[in-house]
Amino acid sequence: MFDNSDRTEISAMGEFGLIQHLAQHFEIRNGKTVKGIGDDAAVVDHGDHYGLITTDLLMEGVHFDLSFHPLKHLGYKAITVAVSDIYAMNGMAEQVLVGIGLSNRFSLEAVEELYAGMQIACEQLGVDLVGGDTTTSRNGLVISVTATGRVDKDKIVYRGGAQAGDLLVVSGDLGGAYMGLQILEREKRVFMEVPNMQPDLEQYDYIVGRQLKAEARKDVIELLKMLDVKPSSLMDVSDGVASELYHMGKASGVGFHVYEEKLPIDPQTIDTALSFDLNPSIVALNGGEDYELLFTVAQSDYEKIKTMPDFTVIGYATDVTSKNMLLTKSGNQFEIKAQGWPESQKE
């Protein structure tokens, strides 16, 4: 299948190159598999509707740090980040399966905390935990969540449907989860040096919450339905807008122009970014884990979405494939480069 005579560093290929390379030998054999690798979730023909399946893996030390991530929040986040990919297909989530790898460091009470968080997320999102797998881990906690869902056939939205001229819209605000992580890591460093010092996180409550307890935007899918708006393309923002724009543009055969002044950024994110000497717009474009929804709509839908406080039109699609430009407040233009894995490891 593969020519394995050389040694190739995975870091030279990047995450997406690796997935593409591995996927090329797996053809679709079942007529019911409508969409395999390449979108937020796989799509299966269930007769009168499409089924959706997606999986996410969270590794201790890579995706979370237990010295500041409470287990209850982590359980909550593990469910929401998996289910977010179902919403990213314009679908509704139905079931989750949870695999965990536990070391003997964990007591029953600790695992109960983790599952208490999962239970809250399942309840809020209306999904059923229907199975999973439990195993021993020698190297930290591992959490794998597979989510399933459904969508009416005429309502499914892929990454690849954006047309030149479509408006680019994002829900909520951007960059908060990244700055929350910077705060938590800074407080951890301070604590290691001066153990008696208690961190004061109150003034960072919003961004810390964005990092520790991500929300999946089920409400956005419901709102789009109520407004009778079907996006032309749709993704969730897990790796950062810059990276998602790259994927959306490549899949759709378009590029994007993004207006810096339109980027929705919470004041707490802005203040914190500035105190770290970071440009808030760069943080908003590249920071991951916001789990907002990024989508395009036809210009004719503008009237329907324009008064929605949670939606911001941040730009529009152009016909220059994969060329994404930031139009700055000062009137300059910069190409938006997707950073992506392995540097950030935030897939």
Which chain residues interact with Mg ion by CB under 5 A?
A: 40, 85, 88, 236
148 near ligand ADP (CB under 6 A): no
CB of 247 to ligand ADP, least distance (A): 8
Q: Cα angle at 260 between 257 and 265, to 5 degrees?
A: 125
Q: Do the beta carbons of residue 178 and residue 283 sit within 8 Å?
A: yes
Among 13, 14, 38, 322, the residue binding ligand ADP under the rule CB under 6 A is 38
Q: Which does 289 bind (CB under 5 to 8 A by kind): ligand ADP, Mg ion, none?
A: none
22 near ligand ADP (CB under 6 A): yes
Q: Which is nearer to ligand ADP, 15 or 94 (CB)?
A: 15
CB of 37 to ligand ADP, least distance (A): 4
Whether omega before 342 lies within 30 degrees of 0, making that bond cis, reads: yes
Q: Number of residues in contact with ligand ADP, rule: CB under 6 A?
A: 12
**Options 19-27, 70-78, 120-128, 186-194: segment touching ligand ADP (CB under 6 A):** 19-27
CB of 170 to Mg ion, least distance (A): 14
Q: What are phi and psi of 96, to 5 degrees?
A: -135, 150
CB of 235 to ligand ADP, least distance (A): 7
Q: Do the beta carbons of residue 341 and residue 239 sit within 8 Å?
A: yes
Q: Which is nearer to ligand ADP, 85 or 215 (CB)?
A: 85
Give the chain's count of helices (H) and strands (E): 10, 13
The residues in 49-68 that bind ligand ADP, with binding defined as CB under 6 A, are: 56
347 near ligand ADP (CB under 6 A): yes
**Interface pattern 210-249 for ligand ADP (x via CB under 6 A):** ----------------------------xx----------
Task: Compute the distance between CA of residue 6 and CA of residue 10 in angstroms, rounded to an integer.
Answer: 12
Amino acid making up residue 243: S
Q: What letter does residue 39 receive in the DSSP assignment?
A: B
Which among 87, 141, 105, 56 has a CA at the least distance from the CA of 347? 56
Two tokens, residue 251: 């899949």
Among 60, 85, 290, 301, the residue binding ligand ADP under the rule CB under 6 A is 85
Q: Which is nearer to ligand ADP, 36 or 209 (CB)?
A: 36
292 near ligand ADP (CB under 6 A): no
Two tokens, residue 314: 């941040």
Which among 61, 3, 82 has a CA at the least distance from the CA of 188? 61
**Options 33-41, 93-101, 121-129, 171-179: segment touching ligand ADP (CB under 6 A):** 33-41
Residues 6+ positions from 165 with CB-CB distance below 8 Å:
299, 316, 317
Q: What letter does residue 36 receive in the DSSP assignment?
A: -
Q: Which does 39 bind (CB under 5 to 8 A by kind): ligand ADP, Mg ion, none?
A: ligand ADP
Q: Which does 310 bind (CB under 5 to 8 A by kind): ligand ADP, Mg ion, none?
A: none
Q: Cα angle at 89 between 252 and 165, to 5 degrees?
A: 35
Task: Compute the distance between CA of residue 323 and CA of residue 157 in angstroms, rounded to an integer.
Answer: 22
113 near ligand ADP (CB under 6 A): no
Amino acid making up residue 175: G
The binding site for ligand ADP (CB under 6 A) comprises: 19, 22-23, 37-40, 56, 85, 238-239, 347
